[in-house]
Amino acid sequence: MKKIYLSAIALVASSMLSAQAFWTATSYKGAFPVTDNTPATDWTDGWANWDPENTVYPATTTTVSSDITTNTTWSGVVLLNAKVFVKNNAVLTIQPGTIIRGDKTNEGALIITRGAKINAAGTAANPIVFTSNEPVGNRAEGDWGGVVILGKAINNQPGGIANIEGLVATLDSEHGGNDDNDDSGVFTYCRIEFSGIALQPNKEINGLTMGSVGKATTIHHVQVSFNGDDSFEWFGGTVDAKYLISFRCLDDDFDTDFGFRGRIQFAVSIRDKDLSDAPGDSNCFETDNDATGSVAQPLTNAKFSNVTMIGPKGNGTVVLPVGEKFEKAFRIRRNSATSCYNSLITGWEKGLSIEGAATEDNFTGDTARFERNILVDFNPATYIVTASNAFYAPWLIPTRANDTTTTKAQIAWVNAFPALNVKPDLRLSASSTASAGATFTAPVFTGGFVNLANFTKEQFTTVTLYPNPTNNASTLFINSSSNESLNVNILVMDVTGKVVLTPAVNQSVNFGYNNFEINTQNLQSGIYFVTINNGLSKETVKLVVNH
């Protein structure tokens, strides 16, 4: 007997506007609009660094080698001379323009533990820089640790509390809890360079590691360059982010795991043909529900929009070296339900890889979407891989309006393929066919439940359906993070709008997981719609029954 798990994570918003406020609707695809010949249309201008290998940083003026247990402020040039944990609910404030140089011998790293906060609010004119303590000419990926932020939001690991990858397991390495609105502070206009040292064998720290970080945390304008592992990795949590740059990292650019459900808009990935992960494989996106691809709730259900990805083949003329480990622009596997919209992808050997029956079900069942993206100049045999053409054919192009035929000349980037130490210009020329055609009408952009009478905390609704199709029976899981109770009606309708099942009427939904059995045994094979209605608004997802 198959079951469906329908999960409404962080049910209810204080207002529809607050649920929608994150997204910036664009007409264009990719991370940048058509240029108007001013820096204003290039959000990397002024703070990003495209040649950190040759940047001369001043000598350190302060050395930090002990944990931080009281509110502390850094400024000037700081030597991070150990694995430094900010704990005991302390707040670390880093002034704009501060430079933090990580020591290689003593494995410098900065870890913000659960309950503590970082206040690293750089500016475009004075970004905060985390970088190597090695001199010009000696810098490389893995020179020091990286930045780790740990929070109290929900993940899907057993017991809800886990130890973050790369650190020795202690209380200070734990992340997780039940507060999806947890606040770990501010991290804006920050650069992280040459991080990713292996603190344990084959367990490097990422550039920016986020373990169960909650959505009250503010993250935007962050560049990770020359990292020895992934540039950005999310382990559960709900934090949103905008304006991210992954530049010449070794492994994956964007890695999502263990029930991460945040939103990311405006991101850039640029790869170096000579930097790939020798022991494994290097992808732009790598995303899993968990290590085994289980049905653990909440599902990894991140949403990305407006990403520009320049793979290691660059404009297509770059010859990759013998032994390189580059793989896929998108590796979505192990029951992940990560979505991507309105993005531009080129220069990778393989494009979209949706791996495994459970992961495929997430896309055919509309739990995850790949929509309005352009896979530029891919060989017809490589823009989709792993699953059969029969799986992709019904939805990839006709239903979700993805494009596999547009060329780089038609995209007409201003200067997307300069030498690797030269600032790229990923804005669009006026003639670009990518200047129009983006969509912001999918359910992910319009929010979900609103019940102003009962709820005041800002929360965001995500609805998932797993697996899909199904046959005889299903279980509806609603996971509410509010302490207030909400009454809902759950209906199953056919394609004509006729109600064929009523699994729940005026049923109370309380904090945590709420289970509702749905018996599909007497339904004919076909398409149905499951609707959850709270009296003020409703959420609907497609269900496919296949006996």
* Cα angle 256, 257, 262; round to 5: 55
Residues 437 and 484 sit within 8 Å (Cβ to Cβ): no
CA distance 474 to 6: 9
Secondary structure (DSSP) of 268-304: EEE--TT---TTS-B-SEEE-SSTT----SS----EE
- Structural domain span for residue 467: 445-545
Are residue 126 and residue 266 in the same domain, yes or no?
yes
- DSSP code of 76? S
Secondary structure (3-state) at 267: strand
Are residue 354 and residue 468 in the same domain, yes or no?
no
Residues 404 and 421 sit within 8 Å (Cβ to Cβ): no
Q: pLDDT tens-digit profile of 287-345?
A: 999 999 999 999 999 999 999 999 999 999 999 999 999 999 999 999 999 999 999 99
Q: Indicate the pTM of the whole model.
A: 0.82
Residues 465 and 365 sit within 8 Å (Cβ to Cβ): yes
Q: For the residues 241-269, what does the mean pLDDT come to?
A: 97
Secondary structure (DSSP) of 308-372: EEE-TTTTTTPPPPTT--B-EEEEE-TT---EEES-EEES-SEEEEE-SHHHHHHHHTTSS-EES
CA distance 37 to 482: 47
Q: For the residues 443-451, what does the mean pLDDT come to?
A: 56
**Residue at a domain's end among 408, 430, 464:** 408
Q: Quick check: is 429 in a domain?
A: no
Are residue 358 and residue 262 in the same domain, yes or no?
yes
Question: What is residue 368's predicted lDDT score, i.e. its pLDDT?
Answer: 95
Please report, to the nearest 10 degrees, the dihedral formed by the alpha carbons of residues 264, 120, 123, 272 taken in order.
-50
Are residue 328 and residue 201 in the same domain, yes or no?
yes
CA distance 6 to 86: 38
CA distance 545 to 320: 45
Confidence label for 18 from pLDDT (cuts 50, 70 and 90): very low
Are residue 399 and residue 259 in the same domain, yes or no?
yes
* Cα angle 357, 362, 365; round to 5: 110
Are residue 399 and residue 489 in the same domain, yes or no?
no
In the chain, % of residues over pLDDT 70: 88
**Residue at a domain's end among 361, 387, 408:** 408
Q: Quick check: is 140 in a domain?
A: yes
CA distance 227 to 225: 6
CA distance 440 to 541: 17
Sign of CA dihedral 375, 381, 382, 386: positive
Residues 101 and 77 sit within 8 Å (Cβ to Cβ): yes
List of residues 6+ apart from 19 with CB closer than 8 A = 13, 447, 448, 450, 458, 459, 460, 461
Question: What is residue 479's predicted lDDT score, i.e. its pLDDT?
Answer: 57
Confidence label for 272 from pLDDT (cuts 50, 70 and 90): very high
Are residue 369 and residue 452 in the same domain, yes or no?
no
Sign of CA dihedral 172, 178, 179, 180: positive
| Long-range contacts, stretch 416-422, CB < 8 angstroms, 24+ apart | 416/308, 416/310, 416/315, 417/310, 417/314, 417/315, 420/248, 420/270, 420/272, 421/50, 421/51, 421/53, 421/54, 422/50, 422/51
Q: Quick check: is 303 in a domain?
A: yes
Sign of CA dihedral 8, 239, 171, 88: negative
Q: Quick check: is 157 in a domain?
A: yes
Are residue 192 and residue 137 in the same domain, yes or no?
yes
Are residue 103 and residue 250 in the same domain, yes or no?
yes
Here the CATH number for the domain that contains residue 524 is: 2.60.40.10
**Residue at a domain's end among 381, 408, 435:** 408
Is 474's pLDDT higher than 80? no
Burial class (CB in 10 A: 0-12, 13-18, 19+), 297: middle
Residues 196 and 229 sit within 8 Å (Cβ to Cβ): yes
Residue linked to tokens 């980037």: 413
Question: What is residue 514's predicted lDDT score, i.e. its pLDDT?
Answer: 61
Both tokens assigned to 324: 């390189």
CA distance 154 to 178: 5
Both tokens assigned to 530: 């499951």
| Long-range contacts, stretch 201-205, CB < 8 angstroms, 24+ apart | 202/279, 203/165, 203/166, 204/142, 204/166, 204/228, 204/229, 204/251, 205/109, 205/145, 205/146, 205/148, 205/166, 205/167, 205/229
List of residues 6+ apart from 443 with CB closer than 8 A = 463, 539, 540
Q: Quick check: is 50 in a domain?
A: no
Are residue 230 and residue 357 in the same domain, yes or no?
yes
Are residue 467 and residue 402 in the same domain, yes or no?
no
Q: Is the peptide bond before 279 cis (omega within 30 degrees of 0)?
A: no
Both tokens assigned to 343: 């993005």
| 539: nearest Cα among 453, 476, 458 | 476
Are residue 475 and residue 404 in the same domain, yes or no?
no
Secondary structure (3-state) at 538: strand
Q: Quick check: is 263 in a domain?
A: yes
Q: pLDDT tens-digit profile of 34-68?
A: 999 999 999 999 999 999 999 999 999 999 999 99
Please give the tally of structural domains in the chain: 2
Q: Quick check: is 451 in a domain?
A: yes
Confidence label for 470 from pLDDT (cuts 50, 70 and 90): confident
Is 263's pLDDT higher than 50? yes
More confident: 162 or 2: 162
Q: For the residues 513-522, what does the mean pLDDT come to?
A: 76
Q: Quick check: is 394 in a domain?
A: yes
Here the CATH number for the domain that contains residue 321 is: 2.160.20
Q: Is the peptide bond before 127 cis (omega within 30 degrees of 0)?
A: no
